[in-house]
Every structure is written in C-alpha cells, then in structure tokens.
Structure 1
C-alpha cells in the first residue's frame, strides 16, 4: 500500500481526530479512505444521472412551463 502525506488546517485535523475518538474510524487513514469511497460512489451516481438525462431526449415542456411549475411548488424546507 502506498503512503500519502496530507496537510490539513488545525480545525480539519481536530475534526478527523474527533471522528477517531468517537469510534467512527480506526485511524485517520481509515477516515480518508472512507471519504474517497463516498466520493467515488457520488461521482458514479452523478455520471449515471447525467447520462440518463442526456439519453432521455428533449422535454415537450417549454422553459416557461418549467419555470411556472417551479414557482408554483411548495418550498416547505
């Protein structure tokens, strides 16, 4: 396995250390590997969604129709 050195600001280092102390991860390397796996999954899902959109064809709705629909939505966030 290769080694990589990463420099972090103090607040980020403290965050990583707190995750380890809470038992979420065994080490900082474990934490970083998990972040990379999450990013890989996110990128895969994003690419799949983009491809689905590109392959779906043109929408029969106009831009005005879409904007009206968005403006009419209930934004209970």
Structure 2
C-alpha cells in the first residue's frame, strides 16, 4: 500500500518515530491503525451495551455470589 502525505505530515511522522522509539514510519502508522481499530471495537461494544436491555446491578453481593458459584463448581 502506498500512501501519499504532505511534507508537514511526513515531518511529523519522522519526529514521532524518532521521539517515541519506533523503528520505522511503517511501525508508527501500524500502531495508529491498531489503536484506531481498538477504539472502534470499544465504541461498538459500548454502543451495544447501551442499547441492550437492563440487567442485574453489579454489586459486591453479585461478585460474592459469583465467587461462591465458581468455588462450588470446582467440586
């Protein structure tokens, strides 16, 4: 894949590579894409959660009950 950038963005990327310890501009751009991908995944998960039906509140009692069920399932 070939990406064209204006000189000011090329300079910015070169500075980031140098200052942040990336080995190449490709590594820096790959990291940006991974972070954007992760943000989109999180945004989708949060949206799905917000649109889902309400469930039981997660409290200390909930976690206590969950721990008890896990312990009992171990035999």
- TM-score, normalised to structure 1, is 0.64
Unpaired runs of 5+ residues, structure 2, are 55-75
Residue 50 of structure 2: aligned partner: 53
Q: Distance in 1 between matches of 2:13 and 2:6?
A: 11
After TM superposition, give the deviation of residue 23 of structure 1 in Å.
4.3
Structure 2 length as normaliser, TM-score? 0.65
More helix, by proportion: 2
Q: Which has the larger radius of gyration?
A: 2
- Aligned residue-pair number: 54
**Separation in structure 2 between the aligned mates of residue 29 and residue 48 of structure 1, nearest angstrom:** 28
Q: Deviations over 1:13-65 (max 9, x none)?
A: 101000122243110110111011101100010000100111046xxxxxxxx
Query: What are the ranges of 5 or more consecutive residues in structure 1 without an aligned counterpart?
Result: 58-77
**Structure 1 counterpart of 2:22:** 25
